Structure 1
Amino acid sequence: MYTPAITGTGVYTPDQIVTNDELVAAFNAHAEKFNARHADAIAAGEIEAKQPSSTEFIVSASGIHQRYVLDKTGVLDPEVMHPHLPERGNDEPSLMAEMALDACAKALERAGRRAEEVDLVICAASNHERPYPAIAVEIQQLLGAGGFAFDMNVACSSATFGMQAAADMIRTGSVRRALVVNPEICSGHLEWRDRDCHFIFGDVCTAAVLERADEAKGAHFVIRSTRCATQFSNNIRNNNGFLRRTREGHMADRRDMLFVQEGRKVFKEVLPLVSRHIAEHMADEGIEAAELKRLWLHQANKAMNDFIGRKVMGRVPEAHEQPNILQDYANTSSAGSIIAFSKYSDDMAPGDTGLICSFGAGYSVGSVLVERAG
């Protein structure tokens, strides 16, 4: 049996930013147009008027201040309210694969590896651009990697579930080196016209190189253990999938064809599930709360992360112990905890222990317990 390790990470960040103020202005303009267009029905009580949003509401509800997106022109157009992401031809690289190449190149550089040394690519993300051929196989081909590749979808836990799959294959010797890639185009499945969620998501892509610890070329994180769990719930759901809405227009009669969330139920049910999952994982590995130097949590909501951090550590964590990137990136689904890990891990000393954890629709929870080495 071999010991798996994370030897490099990379983050692709789009160059377009949507601030809360910009988003609120667009949403409120849309709401005014909607209310004027349906004034008679609203007066008759047949439909509800849309209430305005505000920057204060967004920050209070989520902790988010801005988000990166692939296209802001459509998102900020009150008559459109979704990104313009034109369909690509079969002879062009897919959008997800294009994002992945950037993140993978950065991860490989940090690991000191070449793409041809990789023998497994897992594209783990909330939504995929097409059912087949797998995006992962396309990424493998574009990179010039060897071995095999496959797609995985466990919603916001896709990255940690992908890491467990790769780590298990490295342990058994079936692969030597893997890329776990998380291209998240969350703007494509968000309902930007819904006040309760129009601020939640952003776009990004992360990548991580996993390989045998004894072959690592520099400082790395040994994966001590991984743990995954699922529990069915309809409280976070998307009945359509990926980018269809951005190409065919809104499906106004089917709100459930985009991201839908029962926020209060999610908060009530997911928090104890995640807190218990982490506590049991640490207990089984003999890790006391005082020994945990860093907690890289899924970046969905600041209040949720603050609650989990207190439960896990038995106190309010210091900012460096539980880093947040939510204020800058918003919720980037499975990529969030990997962004936090990539940006806030270099300062850890050999022997320091940390835990990467993601959670979301499913419900799903995935945790990766790591120790700094080298």
Structure 2
Amino acid sequence: MATPITLTQPANTWEDRPITLAGRMESGLANWYLTLWQKQGTTWVLRGSTRTIADGAYKFLYTWPAPGAATFRVVIGNKNPGTLGTSPDRTVNVLDRTLVMNKPAATYTVLTGVKMTGKLTPPEPGKKLVGLQDRYGGKWRTLTSAWIAANGTFAVPVPDNLPATKTVRVITLGVPAASVEASGYAVITIKALVNAKVALVGAGYVNKTYRAGCPVKPSQLRLLTLNYWGFDGLVHRGELIVRDAAVAKMITVWTASFNAKFPIRRMQRVDLYGGSDIRSMAADNTSAFNCRQVTGNPYALSPHSYGYAIDINTVENPYLAANNVWYPSNGLAYRNRSVARPGMLFSSSAPTKALRAAGFFWGAGWRQPDYQHFEPQ
């Protein structure tokens, strides 16, 4: 007579979660060899084995990644059907976990914090990652990742410092290959634009470059933020403090320079260098407003004090001061203007042409040349 064996009805589960199949031998015997079988079409396939413990109890954990109905039985021994005993058949519904990426906009602008959003259903307790992939060389590659929120939503960043058209999708990370969920894909275009923004300037924003007695007040200045091409071939976000009346011309100049992909090392307000022109120049910084004396001539007020003048790529375009000292000291190799290198300014350079067209004079024409400097005529 066959030894009775039970199999409790398993709870429904998701395709990336194990199904718990448990029961007991009514004889209560321990250490009996059991096998788990799954029905596939008209045949049964072996899925695992275990042994009973105290009171004849047993448990299988088995993950079936295909959504739909899955039927199992437990057999005493390794043959199906078993001569010593076979449990009742149990069918469990394996539910489909879905990962949906919201339909993105068709186009974005570089450096605007592009993100792909969506939701994992059902939400996963605890931390779980999704990855952003793009199609490259006929294969999917993972670019970035983000945590899924407790409610299942996600917002995964898209690298947006280089213009490109990408085919993107989102997948779950950190799960077995058979359990990976993938969203549908979308095609997005990231466009290279200067994307200039203008804001008011408070006194606290120029506390190192403005002081009482300066020819312009902070209220007459503007913070101009814009994109520029770096020496690394990527787009970066920069900032200039300029006179309010110079904003329109500066946007025109930097739009032309950006479109020509003229490289800029960095573009930061001089306050980040403690108001020091020498430190700013040594950092190869492109800047405008700084209320100060002329570097190398403490008896003259710099044109930068008015918020109109601008210095560009100060290392690649050094300056011979009135004291016959070249600034910055790490730009001495660029005094030879016969050898063209990236970031150097010439008459044919996009910033030079655009600034001259806007009515600026280039300091390269002075007896003591200032290759970095432009000011209104």
TM-score (norm 1): 0.20
* TM-score of the pair, normalised by structure 2: 0.20
- Greater relative CO (CA pairs within 8 A, separation 6+): 1
Structure with greater helix share of residues: 1
